[in-house]
């Protein structure tokens, strides 16, 4: 342990609790001892044989008829018999007595003896009744001391100084964490890669706080609030931390759940206290993370007509942001990934003037994010950043940070001196697919079914123009999947009907292959059916891509529908929707079966190769099917081909696969599949998808 450094010029602080301790100790000593000194204990036979018969006793005092105190004559104080037993007073002077005390065996016989001793030895005696005030005083002192201690403890707890739960008196105070010049976040805009549009808008806010005259000279006013909206992990909170690090003004940070308490009125009180503190330190910034905890649209509670505490908190927040009071110099930043459920009054101009959308990073932004998270790692010299960015479509900034950390852990586990490309590929494997289950017992029949299932996916996707380019297929169990096929999706902003239909057909290729080859189906297509059904539902009910229903969308991007309005169409329309969804799915299933029946021989070759190698790449399919006829000048297909070849070569160099040895151990490198979006609407739930694999879960 290191010694604590003394701060020069700082005087030690005296703790007044020591005064209380000293007083209590003195009271206890006064109760236990008399100021004239202590009394030695003796016995009745010793008193009679050694003191009384020798004429040393001057006086006997009988107390409470139970014990006697004996005083020795002054001339015998120095006698060897008494010298060590007679204690001196605390002042060091002579102890005048009493000197000894003993228990009376029999009070009546002792009283008679006293009269005889008075005549024979010339002693004096007396009787007295004495209260044990010392012991009683000690008990009272201890009692009051205990009560004072309990009182001090309770007061510290209720005032918030005793840790969690000690907020009885301060329960209405704000829990915001303050960052200022002395306490910064050490995060700047340089640490925020990508998000150029969002950074530009928040930089303007920071610049206004630093140079207000630049804007006020033209009559401009700073926006009162900015709302950061986007999927989880895209960097909303990180952007707010950068604002706190860049702005040289007080920065109050808290979560929406910090306003929530079991007591009525606490949330509104904390809002008032928060803005009061911010006004005192203006100009200042308030950041509320996960504002949807208190900003949910009013009137959506199941307890209709109730005085909802959350609504009271929201009402107070609305008043503080833009009410009769002035909040000059106070800027509110908030973050949420559920902007569709926020109250309309909260979203209007004058409260949150700007909505800054933080989207999933594109190719160039992912490369910048990788550069940030790769800085602290010890990397191999030949690591290709472009390759890492290309093989991670649909990954958020948090996902990329997780990949970099996981790659470093994998490299350390293998006792490597640096983090190599293969480690990053293994990290993607681990994060998306889970841990490889090398010892999972699969029967030959099940393994054959899985092989044909995955071969069906690969065959159909290879033969369809708009299907995502294939990268790799494997039948090695990993996580919950018994097999998987990986594709490189095209990063597009809109998707047409033909593209969605081709993807649905590709998803159903696995089950179709099972029926074509084995004339029976299994539960292995669970995830395929789930994704296909969601796509068909979106086509019919959201995107208006169905001829029978026409250009109708039942999607509510505002989230302001009534609580019991989950089905904004009639029962007849619901029947039509169910029928059209079924027609879409079954049509693509029959299409997949037709493709597989026409190419059954190639399907057999691909499945046999899968059973032999357990993992195959894009060039293996080219040997069976020939060049893909739809590659043309597609950059996505070129990227998929190059990534597939590089992954295969890396695995061969790492010794994880051998193209000639079917029994070699294998480690698969997965490229995630992203469900394509078909709209420009930022509020659509299907707009941003997390990286997914096309895996088949056997229940």
Residues annotated as part of the active site: 454
For 129-172, strand residue ranges (E) read none
| CA distance readout (Å), 86 to 31, 48, 135, 285, 664 | 20, 18, 23, 78, 97
Q: How many CB atoms lie within 10 A of CB 460?
A: 27
Nearest to 503 by CA among 481, 536, 474, 543: 536
Q: Which of 423, 360, 312, 391 is nearest to 654 (CA)?
A: 423
Half-sphere exposure at residue 543, Cβ-oriented, CA atoms within 13 angstroms: 22
Q: What is the C-alpha separation between 548 and 422, in angstroms, rounded?
A: 50
Q: Helix or strand or coil: residue 100? A: strand
Given a contact cutoff of 8 angstroms between Cβ atoms, the answer to whether 344 and 314 are in contact is: no
- Token pair of 352 as six digits: 């949150």
What one-character DSSP code corresponds to residue 47? Answer: I
Q: What is the DSSP letter of 315?
A: H
Binning the chain into helix, strand and coil, the percentages to the nearest 5 are: 45, 10, 40
Length of the chain: 699
Contact of 455 with 513, CB cutoff 8 Å: yes
**Tokens 């926006």 label which residue?**
223
CB 123 within 8 A of CB 117: yes
Contact 287, 243 (CB under 8 A): yes
Which two three-digit tokens encode residue 118? 């008075």
Cα separation of 472 and 641, whole Å?
10
Strand order through the sheet with 615-617? 615-617, 470-474, 481-487, 694-697
Peptide bond into 383 cis (omega under 30): no
Paired tokens of 351: 């409260």
For residues 672 and 654, give the distance between their C-alpha atoms in angstroms, rounded to a whole number: 22
Closest CA to 469 of 645, 628, 687, 678: 628
Strand 57-63 relative to strand 124-128, pairing: parallel
Contacts of 431 (CB under 8 A, 6+ apart): 399, 402, 403, 406
Dihedral pair phi/psi, residue 330, rounded to 5°: -110, 120
């Amino acid at each position: 342990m290191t010694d604590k450094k003394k701060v020069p010029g700082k005087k030690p602080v005296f703790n007044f609790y020591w005064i209380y301790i000293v007083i209590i100790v003195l009271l206890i000593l006064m109760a236990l001892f008399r100021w004239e000194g202590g009394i030695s204990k003796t016995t009745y036979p010793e008193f009679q044989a050694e003191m009384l018969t020798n004429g040393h006793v001057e006086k006997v005092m009988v107390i409470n008829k139970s014990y006697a105190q004996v005083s020795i004559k002054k001339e015998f104080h120095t006698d060897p018999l008494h010298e060590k037993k007679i204690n001196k007073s605390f002042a060091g002077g002579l102890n005048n007595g009493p000197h000894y005390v003993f228990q009376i065996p029999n009070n009546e016989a002792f009283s008679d003896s006293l009269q005889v001793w008075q005549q024979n030895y010339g002693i004096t005696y007396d009787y007295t009744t004495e209260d044990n005030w010392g012991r009683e005083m000690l008990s009272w002192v201890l009692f009051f001391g205990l009560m004072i201690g309990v009182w001090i403890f309770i007061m510290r707890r209720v005032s918030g100084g005793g840790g969690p739960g000690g907020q009885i008196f301060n329960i209405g105070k704000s829990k915001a964490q303050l960052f200022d010049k002395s306490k910064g976040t050490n995060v700047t805009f340089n640490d925020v890669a990508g998000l150029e549009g969002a950074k530009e808008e928040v930089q303007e806010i920071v610049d206004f706080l630093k140079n207000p005259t630049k804007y006020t000279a033209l009559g401009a006013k700073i926006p009162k609030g900015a709302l950061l909206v986007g999927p989880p992990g895209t960097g909303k909170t990180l952007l707010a931390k950068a604002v706190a690090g860049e702005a040289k003004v007080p920065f109050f940070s808290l979560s929406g759940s910090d306003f929530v308490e079991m007591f009525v009125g606490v949330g509104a009180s904390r809002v008032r206290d928060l803005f009061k503190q911010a006004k005192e330190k203006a100009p200042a910034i308030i950041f509320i993370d996960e504002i949807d905890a208190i900003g949910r649209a009013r009137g959506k509670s199941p307890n209709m007509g109730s005085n909802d505490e959350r609504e009271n908190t929201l009402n107070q927040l609305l008043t503080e942001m833009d009410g009769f009071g002035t909040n000059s110099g106070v800027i509110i930043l908030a973050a949420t990934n559920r902007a569709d459920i926020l109250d309309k009054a909260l979203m209007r101009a004058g409260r949150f003037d700007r909505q800054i959308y933080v989207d999933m990073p594109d190719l160039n932004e992912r490369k910048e994010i990788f550069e940030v998270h790769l800085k602290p790692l010890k990397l191999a010299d030949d690591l290709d950043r472009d390759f890492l960015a290309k093989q991670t479509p649909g990954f958020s900034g948090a996902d990329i940070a997780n990949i970099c950390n996981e790659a470093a852990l994998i490299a350390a586990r293998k006792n490597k001196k640096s983090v190599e490309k293969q480690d990053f590929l293994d990290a993607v494997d681990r994060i998306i697919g889970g841990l490889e289950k090398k010892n999972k017992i699969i029967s030959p029949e099940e393994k054959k079914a899985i092989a044909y299932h995955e071969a069906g996916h690969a065959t159909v996707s290879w033969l369809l123009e708009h299907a995502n380019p294939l990268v790799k297929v494997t039948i090695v169990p990993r996580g919950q999947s018994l097999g998987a096929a990986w594709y490189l999706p095209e990063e597009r902003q809109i998707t047409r009907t033909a593209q969605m239909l081709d993807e649905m057909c590709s998803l159903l290729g696995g089950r179709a292959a099972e029926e074509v080859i084995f004339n029976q189906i299994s539960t292995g297509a669970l995830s395929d059916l789930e994704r296909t059904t969601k796509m068909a539902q979106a086509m019919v009910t959201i995107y208006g891509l169905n001829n029978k229903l026409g250009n109708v969308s039942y999607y509510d991007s505002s989230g302001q529908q009534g609580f019991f309005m989950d089905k904004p169409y009639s029962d007849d329309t619901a029947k039509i929707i169910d029928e059209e969804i079924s027609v879409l799915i079954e049509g693509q299933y029959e299409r997949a079966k037709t493709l597989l029946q026409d190419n059954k021989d190639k399907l057999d070759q691909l499945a046999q190769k899968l059973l032999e190698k357990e993992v195959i790449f894009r060039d293996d399919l080219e040997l069976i099917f020939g060049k893909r006829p739809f590659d043309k000048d597609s950059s996505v297909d070129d990227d998929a081909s190059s990534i597939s070849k590089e992954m295969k070569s890396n695995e061969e160099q790492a010794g994880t696969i051998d193209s000639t040895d079917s029994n070699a151990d294998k480690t698969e490198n997965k490229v995630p599949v992203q469900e394509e979006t078909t709209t420009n609407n930022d509020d659509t739930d299907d707009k941003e998808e997390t990286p997914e694999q096309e895996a088949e879960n056997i229940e």
